[in-house]
């Protein structure tokens, strides 16, 4: 396994773990602050949009920029 393959796999695995951990942090924050259903939904929506934006950016780069 060369360095490029290792870096690709490590990035995908570590980012997945980081996103799951951030989801746990948001859930714990909402639970400890007693945010309620609406507050918890807003926390996940707003903070989840940041994760979605990062994933969407990577998809755009891979399909629009790199194939040229």
- pLDDT recorded at residue 51: 83
Confidence of residue 68 (pLDDT cuts 50, 70, 90): low
- pLDDT recorded at residue 30: 92
The radius of gyration of the chain's CA atoms, rounded to the nearest angstrom, is 16
Global confidence as pTM: 0.70
- 23's CB contacts (< 8 A; 6+ apart) are 44
Contact criterion met (CB below 8 Å) for 11 and 20: no
**25-63 residue pLDDT tens:** 999 999 999 989 999 999 999 988 988 898 899 888 888
Domain chopping of the chain, boundaries = 3-65
């Amino acid at each position: 396994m060369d360095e490029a393959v290792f870096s690709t796999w490590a990035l995908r695995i570590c980012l997945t773990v980081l996103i799951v951990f951030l989801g746990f942090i948001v859930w714990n924050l909402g639970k400890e602050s007693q945010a309620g259903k609406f507050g918890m939904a807003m926390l996940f929506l707003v903070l989840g949009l940041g994760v979605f934006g990062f994933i969407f950016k990577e998809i755009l780069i891979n399909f629009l920029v790199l194939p040229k």
